[in-house]
């Protein structure tokens, strides 16, 4: 499981955005649905539901060749989701999205 280190600017940036722009490629737009039954629309809903978003921070493990970030949140149906994403030229590029683990749900409940 990935590990994250909290960074304040990420929380400030995510919680201040009102118009999210996403970048999807064929692999990332279908991978999470194939593995976890979570589609692109539900992933985007988590960001647009910013009042319920909990930024985890920058991924420190496993090491990646570009900065990756984590967040927890809910889609419009109330499903609790965990996301890993990067930011390219101001656009959010979701790497993966899946249902929260038990440990993540506990952390989300403590923070929210």
CA distance 112 to 52: 7
Per DSSP, 100 falls in state P
> Is 29:95 a contact under the CB 8 Å cutoff?
no
For position 100, what pLDDT does the model report? 98
For 15-52, the pLDDT digits (tens) are: 787 788 999 988 888 989 999 999 999 999 999 998 89
Question: In this structure, is the dihedral angle defined by the CA atoms of residues 47, 91, 16 and 13, taken in order, positive or negative?
Answer: positive
Question: For the chain, how many structural domains are there in total?
Answer: 1
For 59, the token pair is: 């991924």
Domain span at 91: 3-111
For position 7, what pLDDT does the model report? 87
For 50, the token pair is: 């910013």
Confidence of residue 105 (pLDDT cuts 50, 70, 90): very high
CA distance 66 to 39: 24
CA distance 81 to 36: 10
* Closest by Cα among 102, 99, 90 to 21: 90
CA distance 80 to 27: 23
For 79-103, the pLDDT digits (tens) are: 999 999 999 998 999 999 999 999 9
Confidence of residue 60 (pLDDT cuts 50, 70, 90): very high
pTM score of the predicted model: 0.90
């Amino acid at each position: 499981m990935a590990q994250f280190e909290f960074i304040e600017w990420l929380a400030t940036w995510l919680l201040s955005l009102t118009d999210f722009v996403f970048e999807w490629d064929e692999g990332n737009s279908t991978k999470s649905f194939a593995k976890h039954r979570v589609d692109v629309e539900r992933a985007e809903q988590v960001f647009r539901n910013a009042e319920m978003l909990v930024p985890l921070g920058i991924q420190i493990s496993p090491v990646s060749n570009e900065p990756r970030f984590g967040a927890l949140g809910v889609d419009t149906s109330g499903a609790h989701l965990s996301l890993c994403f990067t930011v390219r030229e101001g656009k959010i590029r979701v790497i993966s999205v899946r249902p929260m683990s038990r440990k993540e749900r506990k952390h989300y409940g403590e923070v929210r």
